[in-house]
Structure 1
Amino acid sequence: MLGANLWVEKGLVNGSIGTVLRIIYCANQGPPALPAFVFCIFPDYTGPTFFPEHPNSFPVTPIKRTWTAGHTTLSRTSIPLDLAWGMTIHKSQGLTMAKAVIDIGHHEMTAGISFVALSRVQNINDLLVNNFTKEHITRLAINDQILQRKREETRLCDL
């Protein structure tokens, strides 16, 4: 998963899911040094290709980020890629996935978070849900945040 907006106009945005194709190091280097490039295939990338046999390939390079903590300036250089075999519901927000396995857990930390998780796929047949029980649905129905939202919606409709 891409962790930065590299080329928004061409589809390389924070949260884009891709596949690593090749990792290229500078001459006479290797791990633990950072690679010079990580060539990835991003299905939504529409820019120029770097490997003719892989039309959606793009080289992801290290990015240096700088910030201030108190009176000290700090920096970190890293490749803006994260493994995306598993992710939090918050990280998946806004994504459409081909398939998903979702562990709802035992309680909602935020009202509506289960809906966010369940709405990541377009077809219910592409969804596998763990820990979604009758008790979970009952707890959702009496969740304070959801009850407060229902009251507010009723109030607004009555205006």
Structure 2
Amino acid sequence: MLAGRNAHLASSNLACSLQRTGFLSVGLRVMLRANLWVEEGLVNGSIGTVLRIIYCANQGPPALPAFVVCIFLDYTGPTFLPEHPNSFPVTPIKRAWTAGHATLSHTGISLDLAWGLTIHKSQGLTMAKAVIDIGHHEMTARILLVALSRVRNINDLLVNNFARELITRLAINDQILQRKREETRLRDL
């Protein structure tokens, strides 16, 4: 549901990470896009799987679900469905923002598709395993650093299309050299 003049034009960035439309199905891998219960592990970026989509009586798609039951492996709170540990109901939330002199709002489920993630969306996440394809060039050395540092163990990382000349270019990259100097400075403190 959108409210306010021109709210239907808002991008997910402007609408506080809520998508204008969403396509959910049981078994879908999703990313939570809000801090719902930080103390119990339900934070922005948590990865889960859709278990059930529940609608109000006499409703169904394209109406907004009453809630979506997901299994989040990092969730440590009470389980919603006893037969499914780590299950939690994600309910619609309303986000409001200002555009010019107007206040706009959007109500939606704070879940994004997560079968694959951009490097930017993976920032701050720790993943069990990752497959990275950076292509033949990258815009900045820092993006590659983010991509390569998403796993705890190098054996859990697979890099596709990693050209040798990229390593050479990165070794003399100003951003990388500056970061190395800063890390050395901090280590020496």
TM-score by length of 2: 0.76
Structure 2 residue identity aligned to 1:14? N
Quote the offset at 1:22 in angstroms: 0.2
Contact 1:140 1:146 in 2 (8 A): yes
Q: Name the CA distance, whole Å, in 1 between partners of 2:48 and 2:181.
A: 42
Determine if the alignment matches structure 1 residue 112 to structure 2 residue 142.
Answer: yes
What is aligned with 2:74? 44
| Structure-1 residue corresponding to 2:12 | none
Q: Deviations over 1:52-91 (max 9, x none)?
A: 1112110000111011101111111110001111111122
- From 57, 68, 78, the equivalent of 1:27 is 57
Q: Which has the larger radius of gyration?
A: 1
Aligned AA (1:42): F
Structure 2: distance between partners of 1:153 and 1:71: 45
For the residue of structure 2 that corresponds to 1:74, the secondary structure is: strand
Gaps of 5+ in 1: none
Q: Find the counterpart in structure 1 of residue 84 from structure 2.
A: 54
Q: Report 1 or 2 for greater relative contact order, CA contacts < 8 Å, sequence distance ≥ 6.
A: 2
Partner of 2:14: none
Matching residue of 2:17: none
- CA deviations 1:31-54 (Å, max 9, x no partner) are 111100000011111111111111
1:68 aligns to what? 98
Q: Percent identity?
A: 88
Secondary structure at the aligned position of 2:165 is classed as helix
What is the distance in 2 between the residues matched to 1:6 and 1:118? 28
Q: Residues 94 and 154 (structure 1 numbering): CA distance in 2 closer, same or farther, change over 3 Å?
A: closer
Aligned pairs (5 A) from 1:6-155:
6-150=36-180
After superposition, what is the alpha-carbon deviation per residue over 1:107-137, rounded to whole angstroms, capped at 9, x for unaligned?
Answer: 3323332122112122323221112111110
SS of residue paired to 1:112: helix
Local SS of the residue matching 1:39: strand
Inter-partner Cα distance in structure 1 for 2:134 and 2:111: 26
Q: TM-score scaled by structure 1?
A: 0.89
Instruction: Render the CA deviation track for 1:5-48: whole Å, top value 9, x for unaligned.
Output: 00111111000011110000011111111100000011111111
Cα RMSD (Å): 2.3
Rounded to whole Å, the distance in 1 between the matches of 2:49 and 2:154 is 25
| SS state at 1:12 partner | coil
